[in-house]
Structure 1
Amino acid sequence: MKITAAEVNKLRQTTGAGMMDCKKALVEAEGDFDKAIEILRKKGQKVAAKRADRESSEGAAIAKVNSSHNKGAIISLNCETDFVAKNDDFIKLANDFANMALNCNSKEELLAADYKGITVADKLTEQTGVIGEKIEIGAFKTLEAPFVGSYIHAGNKIAVLTGLSSNGDQAEEVAKDVAMQAAAMNPVALDENGVDQEIINKEIEIAKDQLRQEGKPENMLDNIAQGKIKRYFKDNTLVNQAFIKDNQKTVAQHVQTLGNDVKVVGFERVALG
């Protein structure tokens, strides 16, 4: 049967599939639009099954904050190649999913959510068929605080959310500064209380081994190692790090420009690659 260009274009706009794939699906469906969509989805399932064991380390990490600035979400939409990750339609889809994540509490809830008449999970399968690469939601993180800010590093490779204990005139700028800090310096925790005890024990043992090699006496090792741990906290915990825009003060001190009692209360960081 004759399939018009307008019908093919309509299916392409709906599914994002290529023109030839859309035409073939409409011919197979004998012009039935809904059946053609189903044919394309089944094709996506077959491609997804074939690509299931592929590594999807490329993609886009997107952070979003709600209009009240008290909740943020980060998702990564993962794919196999940087070529796909830079595609405008792929980035738009990642942004759509990140906006949806603001209303979800888990990755599973996001995957089950409705996206233009189908679930997000089904949309991922569909797009796997369209693009020919494994596509999946990788990271899913949310953050709630009195004020939440965000930052996405160039190329959508790193996305960060930061939470402050108070709102204010310059809260958005300061929260973004802190998010940029976390993006650049990759802290292991918010402060020393958030560092896993196993990491602390490992760092202490590393410090002691170094001190022994330097010939320090055994009875001095504990005290010197504790000093080195304090330095580790300063270098690797967000609020204690030297602020990248002014290394004469810490991140905590920079945040206090909003008020002496204002603190960073949380952060989330997602990095690809």
Structure 2
Amino acid sequence: MHNKISSENIKELRSKTGAGMTDCKKALESSNGDISIAIETLRKKGLTIADKKSTRLAAEGLIESYIHAGSRIGVLLEINCETDFVARQPEFQQLAKNIAMQIVACQSVKYVSRDDIPKEVVLYEKDLELQKEDLVNKPDEIKIKIAQGRVDKRLKELSLMEQDFIRESSITVEELIKQHISLLGENIKIRRFQKFLLGEGLDSKSNTFVDEISSMIQSK
């Protein structure tokens, strides 16, 4: 027997997921009023819908910029959707702002996804790990396995889509985008971004303030 689902429960679930009222009600009913289970149900449903839309052309969208306080680090981001109508929606525009902030907060991120990482970078990281002193005397099979695990970790650090979302660490950036695909009904793609760091490459400059920026953003 289902617990009675109140309008407050439905509104709370909707505010947390962005899903429609009817979908929220059904998810709460199927989870017997357990909001955490309902969130997971909607998330899985959203990801399924997002996967179906992932091959559709996304040629509209916007260019978003984010300059952190102090004007020492910033980013330009191109994020695409299918229509100009969705590009004007506040949910899409907020998504763009959040992604731009995410890029600034993630010092190691250089590529949109793992698929965008050049093969020569992957090979370089693999060679680097295989040559480390702690692996020299290990059997080849074990050495390769350990090195591959370290490389996978490094590639994850380089990929924006695999980062935990700074405002909700229980989901990744990829899952965040898929949630918005489900919410807005269109394919959404991060096409490219460029990070700008004041004095980057100059010996007289220190980049330690990036860590401070990251903690400040996450505390907002």
With the length of structure 1 as denominator, give the TM-score of the two structures. Answer: 0.50
1:128 aligns with 2:181: yes
CA distance in 2, matches of 1:62, 1:51: 23
Q: Is the 8 A contact 1:75 1:101 kept in 2?
A: no
Deviation at 1:97?
A: 1.2
Other structure's SS at 2:160 match: helix
Q: How does 1:13-32 map to 2 (within 5 A)?
A: 13-32=15-34
Q: Return the match for 1:113 from 143, 151, 163.
A: 163
5+ residue gaps, structure 1, are 148-273
2:164 partner amino acid: D
Give CA-to-partner distance per residue, 1:25-56, whole Å, 9 cap, x none.
11122211111111111111221221121011
Please name the residue that 1:97 is paired with: 99
Other structure's SS at 2:91 match: helix
* Moved beyond 4 Å, runs of 4+: none
Bigger CA radius of gyration: 1
Please name the residue that 2:197 is paired with: 144
Deviation at 1:120?
A: 1.1
CA distance in 1, matches of 2:51, 2:98: 25
Q: Is the 8 A contact 2:92 2:180 kept in 1?
A: no
Please name the residue that 1:178 is paired with: none
Q: Is the 8 A contact 1:40 1:126 kept in 2?
A: no
Query: By percentage of residues, which structure has more strand?
Result: 1
Q: Is the 8 A contact 2:161 2:174 kept in 1?
A: yes
Q: Is the 8 A contact 1:40 1:129 kept in 2?
A: no
CA distance in 1, matches of 2:185, 2:71: 37
| RMSD between superposed Cα atoms in Å | 1.8
1:101 partner amino acid: I
**Number of aligned residues:** 147
Larger RCO (CA within 8 A; separation ≥ 6): 2
CA distance in 2, matches of 1:83, 1:64: 23
5+ residue gaps, structure 2, are 114-158, 201-220
Please name the residue that 1:56 is paired with: 58
CA distance in 1, matches of 2:78, 2:6: 37
Q: Is the 8 A contact 1:58 1:85 kept in 2?
A: yes
With the length of structure 2 as denominator, give the TM-score of the two structures. Answer: 0.62
Other structure's SS at 1:102 match: helix
Other structure's SS at 2:190 match: strand
Other structure's SS at 2:71 match: coil
2:198 partner amino acid: A
CA distance in 2, matches of 1:45, 1:135: 13
Aligned-pair identity (%): 37
